[in-house]
Amino acid sequence: MTNPVKIAVLVSGGGTNLQALLDSESNGTLKSGRIVLVVSNNPSAFALTRAEKAGVKTVTITRKEFGDGFEKAIIKVLRENDIELIVLAGFMAILSESFTSAFKDRIINVHPSLIPAFCGKGFYGLKVHEEALKKGVRVTGATVHFVNEIPDGGKIIMQKAVAVRDNDTPEKLQKRVMKQAEWKILPASAEKICAQILKSRGE
């Protein structure tokens, strides 16, 4: 690939989804794009260490430091690095409409349920799996979708189902959904969208 799509991954925490993306780049399944930047809103996110180990440039931008200029600061660094696709991988901040419309159809997110179940404002982390177990669903999973101004409301790109087991706890279910679904469909979706971007460039 001579001119792969430049990808930025936005993170806040452990970064296992970032790791899945980095691994898929090194094993060649993510071939139409290259991760050139990792942005964290949390200075102690382990995701930053993962990025550094992989030799990817990192930037930390916090609301504490930037206040109302938080999103503007992120946009600035994305523009400076000519980013064409933004992947939200455990990024714990809701982006405003002015941000999402500035990158229309160029931001994707992974959510740990089969949207439209267990999604929207307040549904993040373990809470998603707690609610799924409370409801008694027998099947859950993960979804990768485009990001617009509605939390978890953009068009769906990929989904993968995961069976719920009788002895599941939110923690066990969270791990299984990550392993069986999120770490697979996030890199696959990134490749799919990057390939589309290359095609639209005529490459």
Q: Please, are residues 112 and 180 in contact by the beta-carbon 8 Å criterion?
A: no
117-156 binders of ligand GRF (CB under 6 A): none
Cβ nearer to ligand GRF, comparing 16 with 198: 16
Question: What character string, x for contact with ligand GRF (CB under 6 A) and - otherwise, covers 28-67?
Answer: -------------------x--------------------
Applying CB under 6 A, which part among 10-18, 78-86, 145-153, 158-166 lies near ligand GRF? 10-18
Pairwise CA distance, residues 99 & 148, whole Å: 9
Burial 97-129 (b: 16+ CB within 10 A, else e): eebbeebeebbbbbbbbbbebbbeeebbeeebb
Residue 27 Cβ, how far from ligand GRF at the closest point, in Å?
A: 18
**What are the catalytic residues?**
111
Residue 81 Cβ, how far from ligand GRF at the closest point, in Å?
A: 21
Residue 189 touching ligand GRF (CB under 6 A): no
Residue 176 touching ligand GRF (CB under 6 A): no
Pick from 134, 142, 143: nearest CA to 168 = 134
Applying CB under 6 A, which part among 7-15, 54-62, 64-72, 148-156 lies near ligand GRF? 7-15
Pairwise CA distance, residues 179 & 159, whole Å: 14
Q: What are phi and psi of 200, to 5 degrees?
A: -70, -20
Using CB under 6 A, pick the residue from 131, 152, 182, 191 that binds ligand GRF: 182
Cβ nearer to ligand GRF, comparing 48 with 198: 48
Residue 65 Cβ, how far from ligand GRF at the closest point, in Å?
A: 21
Applying CB under 6 A, which part among 8-16, 21-29, 74-82, 130-138 lies near ligand GRF? 8-16
Pairwise CA distance, residues 78 & 85, whole Å: 9
* Residue 148 one-letter amino acid: N
With H, G, I as helix, E, B as strand and everything else as coil, classify residue 18: helix
Applying CB under 6 A, which part among 12-20, 25-33, 95-103, 163-171 lies near ligand GRF? 12-20
- Sign of the Cα pseudo-torsion (147, 73, 197, 36, in order): negative
Pairwise CA distance, residues 142 & 110, whole Å: 7
Q: Which residues bind to ligand GRF, rule: CB under 6 A?
A: 13-17, 47, 89-90, 110-112, 178, 182
